[in-house]
C-alpha cells in the first residue's frame, strides 16, 4: 500500500535521499495494526526527534528576535507556536492530511483526535527532514511554515492563555465575566470526552470539546475568541 510521496516532497521543498524516512513520518501506529506486511516503523520516534528540533529552532529564533522579552513571555510565545492547534493548522494547510497512513477507524475521525495526529505528523516530518537533509533544511522549513506566524501571535496576544484572553476582552469590551457550563459527557471513565459551553450572561458564545474539562474549556475559549473576533 505504498503511496506516492513526491507531491509531499515538493511541499516540503526537499527531495529525500531516504524515502523511507518520509513514509515513516506519515505512518500512524494504527495503520501498522491493520497492515502487518509494512516493514517500517510508525512515526512516534520521528515525532520525538522533531519535537526537539522544533523547540530548538523556535527558541533560537525567539531569543534573537525579542531581546527585550523575559523568559516567561518567550516561553508562552513558544508554546503558542508549537501547540497542537497551531501545528495541526499548519499541517492541514500544507496538505499533510492527504498523505497520512491511518487505520480505517482513525481515518474516519475528523475531530480533536485528528488534530493530535496532524500535529504529531508535522513533528515527525520535521524530524525526518532533519535526519535526511540536516539542521539547516529543517530550520528553513520551520521558518517558512511556522515562524511566519510569530508577529500575528504577538500582536494579537495569542500567546496568552485562551481563557484569560477571552475573560480580559469580555470584561474590557462588554463588562461581562464569562462562565463555563458542561453540556455533555460521553464515553467510559477512562476515555471521557467533555463538551463545554462558554457563556456571556445567558448567551452561549461557543462550545469546545476535550478529554478533560480544562481542555474543553480552553477549546471553548478559543472558539469564543474567534466568534467575537478577539
Active centre residues (catalytic): 51, 123
CA–centroid distance for 40 within its chain: 25
Task: List, in sequence order, every residue forming a beta bridge with 27; answer none if it has no partner.
Answer: 101
- Reading the block at residue 12, the C-alpha cell is 516540503
Instruction: Transcribe 131-198 into DSSP letters.
Output: HHH-HHHHHHHHHHHTGGGHHHHHHTTTTS-HHHHHHHHHHHHTS---EEEEEEEES-GGG-EEEEEE
At residue 78's C-alpha, the angle toward residues 76 and 82, to 5°, is 120
Q: What is the DSSP string of 92-123?
A: HHHTGGGG-B--HHHHH--SHHHHHHHHHHHH
Percent of the chain that is helix, strand, coil (3-state, to 5): 65, 10, 25
28 is written with which cell numbers? 500512524
Amino acid at each position: 500500500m505504498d503511496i506516492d510521496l513526491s507531491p509531499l516532497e515538493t511541499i516540503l521543498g526537499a527531495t529525500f535521499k531516504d524515502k523511507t524516512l518520509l513514509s515513516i513520518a506519515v505512518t500512524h501506529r494504527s495503520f501498522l495494526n491493520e497492515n502487518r506486511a509494512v516493514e517500517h516503523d510508525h512515526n512516534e520516534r520521528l515525532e520525538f526527534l522533531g519535537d526537539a528540533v522544533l523547540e530548538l529552532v523556535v527558541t533560537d529564533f525567539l531569543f534573537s528576535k525579542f531581546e527585550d522579552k523575559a523568559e516567561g513571555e518567550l516561553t508562552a510565545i513558544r508554546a503558542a507556536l508549537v501547540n497542537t492547534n497551531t501545528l495541526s493548522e499548519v499541517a492541514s494547510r500544507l496538505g499533510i492530511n492527504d498523505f497520512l497512513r491511518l487505520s480505517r477507524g482513525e481515518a474516519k475521525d475528523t475531530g480533536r483526535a485528528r488534530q493530535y495526529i496532524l500535529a504529531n505528523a508535522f513533528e515527525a516530518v520535521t524530524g525526518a527532514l532533519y535526519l535526511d537533509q540536516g539542521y539547516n533544511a529543517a530550520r528553513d522549513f520551520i521558518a517558512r511554515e511556522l515562524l511566519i506566524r510569530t508577529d500575528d501571535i504577538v500582536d494579537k496576544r495569542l500567546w496568552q492563555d485562551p481563557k484569560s484572553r477571552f475573560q480580559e476582552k469580555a470584561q474590557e469590551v462588554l463588562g461581562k465575566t464569562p462562565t463555563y457550563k458542561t453540556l455533555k459527557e460521553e464515553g467510559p471513565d477512562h476515555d471521557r470526552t467533555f463538551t463545554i459551553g462558554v457563556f456571556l450572561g445567558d448567551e452561549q458564545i461557543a462550545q469546545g470539546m476535550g478529554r478533560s474539562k480544562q481542555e474543553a474549556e480552553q477549546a471553548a475559549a478559543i472558539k469564543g475568541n474567534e466568534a467575537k473576533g478577539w
